[in-house]
Chains A and B, each alone.
Chain A
Amino acid sequence: MLKDKVAVIGAAMIKFGRLFDKSYEDIIAEAYLKAMDSVDNGMESKDIQAGWLGTAMGGLLMDRELITGATLSYATGLEGIPVTRCENLCASGSDSFRNAVLGIASGFYDVAIVIGAEKMCDKPAEQGMLAEANKEGHTIFNYGITAPSIFGLIANRHMHEFGTTKEQMAKVAVKNHENGTKNPDAALQFRVSVEQVLKSPFVSWPLGLMDCCPITDGAAAILLCKKELAKKYTDRPVYVAGIANATSSKTENLTEFASTKLASKRAYEMANMGPEQIDVAEVHDCFTIAELVEYEDLGFCEKGQGGRFIDEGRSGLEGDIAVNPSGGLLCKGHPLGATGVAQISELFHQLRGQADRRQRQGARTGLQHNIGFMHDRSVTCVSVLTV
């Protein structure tokens, strides 16, 4: 069994945003140094035996298709360690973390590092994320498909089947922006009202601009070790109770994410817990509708009740489960490979009571959820963390 064999002992995200003055190597180094500084009793670089580097879209976004794990060791000075570069859509960072956890749980490594990094702003959107519509995938079948259009389809069908409203989606943005004002590392730090979200220009109807996460650069890093070593580094380690990845191509039903249902089931089973035990969750709110669907798929509420869950304030900082206290992707930004790593960093600080004004009081159990969805297939990573 993997449960509680691996401890997170340090974690950090850099401030996400349009980091024009910082290179890919710069943000990797910055995340590394910040994570090293977060280790209570300090850590020496020679302690780190292996690394995983999560970056999703080097080709389209940076004209660097070939990233290689060696970029991690080059940028951090961790010369010689084994590093694997991981691409797994928007879950690249989480899957890097999962592989590091497996590496330590297997007994092969004692201490490892995970870095997620993505440069998304070097090119204008037309040549970057928008170019998914004409540069990525099949000439005919994937032509015209962008990330907002996939989630626009999901939103429209969820509204049709369950009566979910644009106001309920807007409330996700309102909640996460409120939390985001309390996170100095979030790219966007301002409040929004339901009316402002509803009046924002359409990106892919029914989703407006304020239903969408911003395109940002960013990086985050995690240090982890086997549990026997954890107390050497900190008196307050965070343990990995459950971790899972699930893939799916059964995406014809556009009101749920099959990969999320599968991954969360596996992670809950491994942790021997259910959604009722979760105090705080960082979930993949790339678009407001995604968070509502995830309430359902993660078992926080019944199918079709995601809108009601936000209406009743049950995902607020003081609600049943504090969802996205970091501000979520909607405020932090969503630099693909960094996203899952930053989510775990937030939970690391939440579970240690270090989340300042966005702290979920008494949080002891956290769930992290990160999904990649491309054309007709998806991959989800879910982790359950405890203290």
Chain B
Amino acid sequence: MYRLDIWRDREQIYSLEALRCKECSHVGYYRLRICPHCGKAKGFDKVTVGREGTIYDFTVNYSVPREFERPSILAVVDTANGTRVRGLMADARPEEMAIGKSVKFVFRKIREIDDVPVYGFKMSLKG
């Protein structure tokens, strides 16, 4: 099974690149032609998500397919430039998790597809 979305979205995934709308300045971690916030197609400036953020929300998911760590912790993180990013936590225990804690983005193997590893970012608690 080929997954070309990884190649198309390589800058977003591997450079942690977000888009800032030239019209309304809304920043989103997506790859779109038209700003979903203001509906204008004035183009975007590429901005970095940054390497760190603060936990806005999280859930501890015990009900996941076998290939996942169980539990698998899903976090939503706000970074300094106002980007909200969702991702899996690495090396975190459920009891350590709390809204407001600081995290850093880390480069990790996310999954395997047909025995080929797929890399991306996860989030890890700081300190």
Contacts and interface: CB of A to CB of B under 8 A. Distances in A.
A140 B6 contact: yes
Nearest to B98: A160
Contact of A130 (B64, B76, B84, B110): B64
Given A140-B120, A144-B72, A152 B5 contact: no
Contacts, number: 97
A155 B61 CA distance: 13
B63 A203 contact: yes
Interface of B: 3, 5-6, 9, 13, 36-37, 56-68, 71-72, 74, 76, 84, 86, 88, 94, 99, 110-111, 113, 118, 120
B3 to A, nearest CB: 4
B32 to A, nearest CB: 10
Interface in A151-177: 152-153, 155-157, 160
B65 A204 contact: no
B63 A204 contact: yes
A139 B113 CA distance: 9
B59 A134 contact: no
A141 B67 CA distance: 16
B24 to A, nearest CB: 13
B60 A144 contact: no
Interface residues of A, number: 33
Contacts of A249: 36
A233 interface: no
Interface of A: 126, 130-131, 133-134, 138-141, 143-146, 148-149, 152-153, 155-157, 160, 201-207, 249-250, 252, 254, 376
A156 B5 CA distance: 31
15 contacts: A130-B65, A134-B65, A134-B68, A139-B113, A140-B9, A143-B111, A146-B63, A148-B63, A149-B59, A152-B61, A203-B63, A204-B60, A204-B63, A254-B56, A254-B76
B64 A140 contact: no
B57 A145 contact: no
Contact of B59 (A138, A153, A201, A250): A153
Contacts of A134: 65, 67-68, 111
The 8 closest A-B pairs by CB, nearest first: A152-B59, A205-B60, A139-B3, A204-B61, A157-B57, A149-B61, A140-B120, A203-B63
